[in-house]
Amino acid sequence: MTKNKILILDDEPSICSSLSLSLEGEYRVISHTDPLEGIALLDKEAVDLVLLDLVIGEHDGLDILRKIKQIDPNICVIMMTAYGDIRSSVSAMKNGAFTYLPKPLDIEELMLHIRQGLEFRALNERVTFLRDELNSKNYAEPIIGNSPAMQQVLQMVDRLKDTDTSVTITGESGTGKELIAKALHFSGSRAEQRFVAVNCAAIPEGLLEEEFFGHKRGAFTGAVSDKRGKLEMADKGTIFLDEIGDMPLSLQGKLLRALQEKAYAPIGGHDLRTFDARLIVATNRDLKDMVQKGLFRQDLYYRINVFEIELPPLRERRQDIPLLCEHFIRKNNEQQKKHMRIKGITKEAERALMLHDYPGNVRELANALEYASIVTNDEWIHAANLPDRTRRCAAEAEKSEEEYTLRGKTLEELEKAAVFAAYEKHSGKRKAMAEELGISERGLWNKLKKFELI
C-alpha cells in the first residue's frame, strides 16, 4: 500500500527532525526549513498533507498557506505555532487550513488530526467527480461548497442518485432544496427523463388536485379539452413536490393512494392511468410535528420519508461564503449589461458578509451581491454597497464578538493580546510592532521579554 506523503515546513531543524522521526513509520516525510523550497517541491511533486509553521523565519505562514492552496486547493494543511490566538486561528481556517495546533505539539493529537485531514482530502477527491458531473448538467445552479456539511450532502446524493428511493429534503427557506432534488435526478439513472416540479405552496388549493391528476374534457365548466397532470408528465422521470407541508389534508389521501398503486384517474375520468416516477419532496416545516398535531397524514409521512437529506443553513457553513461570492459575482457579470465587470469584493465587504446571520440563506446572499453589483461605481464591491440589513447585522455581530472577546479580561491579558496580535501581523519585526502599538522599541523589548516572545 502506498504511503501518504507529508511535507513539514518549519524554520527550526530540531522540530523538523523530531516530527520526521515520529511520522516516518506510517508516512513518507519530507521537511524543509525554507518555505520557498517547500513551495518549489509542491510544483514538482504531489503531496497529501503539509505541516506548516505560522511564523517561519522571515515568512508569514498565512502567505505560504495561500501559495500552497494556489498550487493545489485539495492539499490538507495543518498549521502549527507557539504564538497562537483566536485571531490567527480564524485567519488560518479562512484561508483553507484544515486545523490549527499550538506548540509544543502532542504527537498523539497530531496523528489523530493527520488521519482526519487525509480522510478529508480523500473525501474531497471522491466528490470532485460528482460535483463536476452535477455542474455540467442543464439545471439552473451548480452546487457550491467545500464545507464538511455540504460534502456530506454530496455524499448522500452520490449514494442515492441511481436508486428509486423516495427522498425528503429538509432545510430552511433559501438553502437550495430544489437544487439538491435536481442533482439527484440529473446525476442518476433517470437523467434523460423529465424532472417535473410542483410547488405545493404556490398553487391554490382548488387547483392543486387538477395540477397533479389532470382532467378530462367536460369534467367541469371551462374544461374544453383534456389536460395532462404532473404525474403523467413525470412518468419514467422524477416528480418533485416542493413545500409538501403546505399540501391540504384533503389532497394528501389521494396522493398517497396514487403513490402506493402507481396509478390514478384524471378528474372527470374513470380509466386508471399508471405512472412510474421517482418521488422527491422538500419542506422547511417539521413534518413529524405536523403529524402529531393532525396537520399531516402519518401514512403519507412514512411513505415519502424513506431517506432524509437535511441541508445546513448558510450560517452553519460560513466557510463556503467566499466561494459562493465568486460564483454569484461571475453569474451577475454574465447577466447584467454593465459597462464594467465586477472583479470581486473588498476585505471589508467580505468580512461583513462573513458576519451576517442570513435568515434567507444562500438566496439572501445571492440577492445581496446582485444588489451590490448594481450600485457599485467601480470594479469592486465595497461594504458600503451591501444592503442596509446586511451591513447592520454584520456591525451588530462584530460588536458582540468584540464585547465577548474583551469581557472578563484583565488589563494585562488585553495588553498581552495586543502584543501577540502585533507580533503575528508583523512577523516579529520590532519597528513595525512598536509603531502599531504606539510605544518605543525599548518599551516593546520589555514587553516581548515579559511575555516570553524573546
How much is the average pLDDT of 146-156?
90
Q: Which pLDDT tens digit goes with each residue over 104-120? A: 889 999 999 999 999 88
DSSP secondary structure string for all residues of 162-226: TS---EEEE--TTS-HHHHHHHHHHTSTTTTS-EEEEETTTS-HHHHHHHHH-B-TTSSTT--S-
pLDDT of 126 over the 70 cut:
no
Which helix or strand (DSSP H or E) is residue 264 part of? strand 263-264
Helix 441-450 to helix 430-437 angle (10° resolution) is: 100
Count Cα neighbours of 121 within 13 Å in the Cβ-side half-sphere: 26
Q: Among the ranges 74-78, 267-271, 388-392, which has the highest mean pLDDT value?
A: 74-78
Q: Which pLDDT does position 20 carry in this prediction?
A: 94
How much is the average pLDDT of 21-31?
92
Please give the residue that has the higher pLDDT: either 56 or 394: 56
Residue 90 main-chain phi, psi, to 5 deg: -65, -40
State the average pLDDT for the chain.
86
Per the CB < 8 A criterion, the answer to whether 196 and 238 are in contact is yes
DSSP secondary structure string for all residues of 122-137: HHHHHHHHHHHHHHTS
Residue 140 — very low, low, confident or very high, per pLDDT cuts 50/70/90? very low
Q: Which pLDDT does position 406 carry in this prediction?
A: 53
pLDDT of 425 over the 90 cut:
no
How much is the average pLDDT of 12-22?
93
Q: Which pLDDT does position 127 carry in this prediction?
A: 65
pLDDT of 91 over the 80 cut:
no
Residue 128 — very low, low, confident or very high, per pLDDT cuts 50/70/90? low
- 3-class secondary structure, 121: helix
Q: Which pLDDT does position 71 carry in this prediction?
A: 85
Q: Which pLDDT does position 261 carry in this prediction?
A: 92
pLDDT of 233 over the 60 cut:
yes
Please give the residue that has the higher pLDDT: either 279 or 228: 279
Q: Which pLDDT does position 27 carry in this prediction?
A: 93
Q: Which pLDDT does position 368 carry in this prediction?
A: 95
pLDDT of 283 over the 90 cut:
yes
Q: Which pLDDT tens digit goes with each residue over 367-384? A: 999 999 999 988 999 988
pLDDT of 8 over the 80 cut:
yes
Place of cell 413525470: 234
* 46 residue type, one letter: A
Q: Which pLDDT does position 398 carry in this prediction?
A: 58
How much is the average pLDDT of 11-40?
92
Residue 276 — very low, low, confident or very high, per pLDDT cuts 50/70/90? very high
Please give the residue that has the higher pLDDT: either 361 or 44: 361
What is the distance between the alpha carbons of residues 40 and 47, in angstroms, rounded to a whole number?
12
Q: Which pLDDT does position 216 carry in this prediction?
A: 84
